[in-house]
Each structure stands twice: as C-alpha cells, then as structure tokens.
Chains A and B, each alone.
Chain A
Amino acid sequence: MNEKLAKLLEAVEYGKVDQKSPYPPNLKGMDGAHELTQQALDAGIRPQDILEEALIPAMGNVGRKFSENKIFVPQMLMSAKAMGASMAHLKPFFASGKIKSRGTFVIGTVKGDLHDIGKNLVAMMVEGAGWTIVDLGVDVDAGRFLEALSKNPGAVVGLSALLTTTMTNMGEIVAKIKESTPDTVIMVGGAPVNMDFCRKIGADFYAPEPRGAVDFLNQLAS
C-alpha cells in the first residue's frame, strides 16, 4: 500500500488528530490525520482511495478492537476525531460526486432521552465506513424521523435509547416509520435494548455496539 495511506491509516486508528495533538503520547509531534490527508491529496491520491484504503480500514480496526474489549470509549472517540479531521478534507469530493457514499444513515436518540455518547460513537463509526450521516440529535420524535426520511429516501434509520422508560418510545417510532415507508430498514441500540426487544417492536436489527451496526449496513449496501 501507498506509504502515505499507511501512515494515515495508522494516525486514524490510533487517534492522532493533527500534529499539535498530544494524543497518543507515542505519536507526539508527528503529523496527524489532518496533515496526512492534505499530503495525500497533494500527492494526487484519489479521494476515493483515501477513504477506502485508509479511513475505512482504520475505523474497521477500531470497531474490531472495541468489540474485542481491547480499547474503550476514549480511544474510539479519538479515532473518530482523527477520522473527522480527515473527512473535513474529503467533504467537497462527496459533494461533487467524486467519492461515492455507500448510503445514508439517519440516527437519533429517541424522544424523552438525552443520552448521546453511544449514539455519537455509532454515527462516527458508520461515517467511517463510508456512509453519509444525518444526525438528528437527541429527544427525537417520530415526526422528525419521518421528515428526515422524506428528505433522504431510502436511508437506513438508527434509534438509540439509554433509559428503560424511553426505550418504549422506540416501539412507537418504529411503528410510525413502518406505516409510512414500510421498506425502511431500522436498527436499534443502547444499553437497555436487546434482540428480543428489537423483534418485539418490529425493528429490523439490533447491535450491542458499533461494529455490528457497520457490518449490518455493509451487508445491506453490498
């Protein structure tokens, strides 16, 4: 693989945002995702290759290590930040169609709930898998999901809830979405949610952590 892309992959996997960033300590002073992406573009590497050969595999490794419990929330967050720094350079190419997105993923924390740390991680990991993210934020009701779906037809929906009480709102949201667009694929997650609950409310998929979500989406896209 191209040496620049290998370096970028490493920077994203270990959460090196930019040169100034003190994290991780062993990469101190080195170029981060921000600089390395610019260099890759300057060297004429295709944006699509930057995404597919550096960012996606880096975030894939992060997701795998997280699900194997080798890393935890802070490391995943730093990697996601590094990915974000790189993505900032790639955004124009998505807009111009030079990079093809794998699909659109609409995500939000359901009505009544404000917990968003897990939801944000899932959004970033899915973005790192090459998807376009529409993040509706927290305390999102069925109406706002429907609105987002009408603007992004065919998007996959992700619902997050962290409270045993707000989890029940998921059922209502799923029902409303399925009523208006029965083909919409809906994924649910959050600490109190499980597969049984997912089936009970008629959602399509449950994943305990981001990796499962990414694998499922990739299957859909392929």
Chain B
Amino acid sequence: MHKLTIHSAGKVSSANVSRETILLDAIRYRGFMIYAPCGGKGSCGKCEVYVRDEGYVTSCLYTIEEDIEIVLPEPVEANILAAQYEYSRILPLSPGPASRLSDSPYGVAIDLGTTTLAFHFIRLATGTLLETSTVLNPQAKYGADVISRINYCITVPEGLLTLQSELIDVFNLQLSHFTEKSNISPDDIVKICICGNTTMLHILLGVNPGPLAFVPFTPVFCEERIVRASELKLFCNPLGEVKVLPSLAAYIGADIVAGIASLAPVPAHKNFLFIDVGTNGEIALITADRIWCCAAAAGPAFEGANIEHGMGALQGAINIYYGQNNFQTIGDTPPVGICGSGLIDLVADLLRSGYVSADGYMEEKFLVVPSERSGNGTAIYITPKDIREIQLAKSAIVSGINILLRRTSLTVDNIDALYLAGGFGNYIRKESAEAIGLIPTGLSEKVIPVGNTSGTGAILAVRSEKFDRYVSETLDSMEYTELSDDEDFALQFAINMGF
C-alpha cells in the first residue's frame, strides 16, 4: 500500500492505493476528472499531472511505487457559450401532458455532447429559462472521440454499463444541484429532453453502440425514444417523461437534426449551409426542398487534440491571435496553449508572412510564446506536424462542402449564408477561416455563428410539443450522403489540403 495525496481545486484528499497502480487509474478511481484524450494509451501526452519532488509526469504511464503527493490541473470550467436565440424558432408554450404531474412543473433540456454536457432548467408554467450549467462529459477519461467510447463499450466487460452510469451520475448531480438551489422537490421535474450524437444517445439508453463503429455503420435505433424517468433512475419525478430526440444516421445525430430544426433563418436565405466544425464535422446544405448532409470526420485538431500545444477552449487558451506577441487568451490569463480559433488565426498569419507555404510546408517549428511569458513555464510552439493535422481537418470539411454542392449543382455563389454551430463559431475570425481554406472563398462574409443549436433544439422540445413537427419535417427532407462511397472524395480531399 502507498499513500496518494491529491491536491485539487484548493482541497486536499488522500487515499491508499495498492502497489503498482497506474496513477491515471488511481486518480479516476477517486472520481477526479482528468483530460485523457487518447484514453490512457500514452500517446497524447495530455494527461500530465504534477508530482511533488518529481515534476510533471504522464499519469497514464506512471506507476505508483511509493507515497506520493500530486497536484491536479485547475478544473477550469469549459468555456461554452450559451445558446444564441437570434436565429432560432419561437414557439408557443405547450410542454404537454407531463407538465400535469406537478403543480409547479419544471423541465430540463440537455445537450449531450461527446466533450461537454449542457443543462438548461426551464419553468414549464412560463417557459422561462432559469439556469444553464455546463460540465465536461465524465466519459472523456475513456477517450476523446465517439469511436474510443464505442471501443470501450465493446472491449471492456460491463463497459457500456460503466459509460452509461457515468452519464446518469452526472445528470443526477446536476438535477440535485438544481432542486436544492431552487428549493423545489425532485418530483417537480417532469420533463427532460435530450439531444446528442447517435453514439451518446445509444450509451445513455444502454443500447450497444458497437454497430456504429463498423461498416455499414447502422445504428440500433434512430427514432425518437420516450422513457419514464424511473427507468433511467433519474433524480426527478419517477413518472416524468424523458424524450430522446431522433437521429438520421450513425454520424448525423439528434444534435444535428434538432439543431437544424431549431433554426429560423431569415427568409432571404434560400440555400444555406449548416456546419458543426467538431470532430465528426457534420455538414448540411439546406435548400428549398431537401437537406443534403454528410459527416466529414475532420478529427479533433480544432479541439486542440493531436496538436502539440493545442487545447480545448479552456482558461489560458490563446483564442485570438493577431500577430507576433499580440494575442488574447480565454479568461485573460497567461497563455498555456492554443485552442481551435487561435490555431486558425495563427496559421493564417504564418501563411501571410510566408513562414508556412501554400502546400503546408514549414521548415521549423514556430515559437508562439516563450517560456518566460507562458502560464506554465513551458514555451508554446506550433510544429510542422501540427500544420499537417490542420490540413487534414480543414480539407475534410471543405471537401464535404464541395461534395454536397456538387450533388445539388449549386455553387458557392448560390449560398446565401453559412450557419456555424458550436461555441467555436463565436470566436472564429472569418477572415482567418477563409485564409486557411476552412471556409470556401467568398463565404466568409456570410458566416453566422448560431452557438449551441443542439441545446436550443432540446430547449424548444421541452417548451413546446409543436417542435416535434419541425423535427420530423427536417428529418423527412434530409438526404444522407455517405462520403466513404463517394468516388470524388479522395481526390477532393487531396486537392483541398493546400492553403
């Protein structure tokens, strides 16, 4: 037995661990969150923790062989922007029969993301949004992307149950926070609506997501599912209604379907694009009669993974880069890394100065912040390999856009607007995105950040039964394009890698 002392968020706790335990496992076992995008394979180097008298170590590769004291990174709250309402539908309040389960009924809208979860608490009598809270998805410790989570479910005994319980536990924590704070009874929470990608929804309902990760990528279910709150053991009214919104395909989930259904585009926008620049890179081209969509699988580069000094949109991340020594960080704290929007700015700047050439070649790594000015004493660089990762990610997105345009015989000139979903869209500087070719030339002026549309969709579903109709209309007009079967994709992908 060794003693493990953990310092986290100003608190100290200690525990006994058996000999030869891996540090990452010991930390997780005690319920602490730790960012481990490669799932503990030792390949991403992001799971570092500080060990007293030893310095920073890669926790998934570190075996505990004596009493140690560790300091966990500050639990910086993910910086996720609240949903934006300007371009979303307004529907009359009609929460449906569940609201009769209590005299003062409440509802919760949940955006179940792979990385973050957003909870929106709503008073059903008035439709008022009372509170929004966001937390990191506790499953992040099992890997950053959906494939790693699926892999966990199919390779680890009880893996699905573990991942499902992680979600239920964090749901319950949020529900009890809210009921305690607002001084209401759990029985008053009577309606919960959930949007998320297809994998997350499978795991939430305890349905094996295995088939989603192998050809032909067929989901076990896509349709809307309604279950009693008691079936999921949620801390709310046991008869309460839990509604999981419908998905279209394995990689076009309810988050995208409800996100599109939640939009109220200005009438002048006849043909427009809707893009979520996340790991799965979902793209939809909305035209008068059809919605063409695909998932471009961009990968997590714009979320900071696979980038040497990349990080999520967390405190201390460089999120806007104007030029050498001239940048902004989230929370205005000293820089510790670069997040997606900062990366895009940075690459655009390096292209302008010729440090990176149009084919992506960069002779040597570029020093962004010297060690003495960084927030953790480590210099921040961007490396030639980082540039290659960005080329892959951005090319996947643009190639997806081009393939959809080709399907409809539309050109970029016919596109009236580009709705960018996700917190990412709010920070991104359009000129930079166009400069690196993430957005086709000519579209940057037409970009409209719409924030977390998946959350907006869930909120609309809680407030109004009428939203169902928009969701099914959206679903009915969606036409899924499987890029794996597209003859043109590989060529497009190669061509669009240039800047």
Q: Which residues of A contact B (CB under 8 A)?
A: 69-75, 77, 111-117, 120, 139, 163-166, 168, 194
Contact = CB atoms under 8 A, between A and B. Distances in A.
Interface string B385-420: 100100110000000000000000000000000000
Interface in B203-230: 213-215
A168 B155 contact: yes
Contact of A74 (B213, B385, B498): B498
Interface string B187-217: 0000000000000000000000000011100
B246 to A, nearest CB: 24
Q: Give chain B's interface residue range (CB within 8 Å of chain A).
A: 20 to 34
Given A69-B384, A113-B215, A165 B147 contact: yes
Interface string B461-499: 000000000000000000000001100001001110110
Interface in B7-51: 43
Contacts of A69: 361, 384-385, 388
Contacts of B150: 165
Given A71-B359, A164-B151, A165-B154, A139 B490 contact: no
A74 B214 contact: no
Contacts of B215: 111-114, 139
A137 to B, nearest CB: 12
A-B residue pairs, 3 tightest by C-beta: A112-B214, A165-B213, A114-B484
5 contacts: A73-B391, A73-B493, A73-B497, A113-B214, A116-B490
B360 interface: yes
B148 interface: yes
A120 B490 contact: yes
Q: Is the interface of A mostly helix, strand, loop or mixed?
A: loop
Contact of B43 (A111, A115, A194): A194
Contacts of B498: 74
Given A164-B147, A166-B214, A72 B497 contact: yes
A117 B395 CA distance: 13
A165 B384 contact: no
B481 to A, nearest CB: 14
Contact of A71 (B143, B361, B495): B361
Contacts of B388: 69, 72
Interface of B: 43, 143, 147-148, 150-151, 154-155, 213-215, 359-361, 384-385, 388, 391-392, 484-485, 490, 493-495, 497-498
Given A71-B361, A72-B391, A117 B493 contact: yes
B493 A163 contact: no
A164 B359 CA distance: 29
A117 B490 contact: yes
A112 to B, nearest CB: 4
Nearest to B484: A114
A113 B215 CA distance: 6
B495 to A, nearest CB: 7
A168 B495 CA distance: 31
A19 B374 CA distance: 52
B494 A74 contact: yes
Interface centre among B43, B361, B391, B485 (most CB of A within 10 A): B361
B308 to A, nearest CB: 13
A115 B214 CA distance: 11
A118 to B, nearest CB: 11
B360 A72 contact: yes
A38 to B, nearest CB: 25
A101 to B, nearest CB: 26
A111 B215 CA distance: 8
Contacts of A71: 359, 361
A137 B360 CA distance: 29
Given A69-B384, A117-B490, A163 B497 contact: no
B151 A73 contact: no
Nearest to A114: B484
A74 B497 contact: yes
Contacts of A111: 214-215
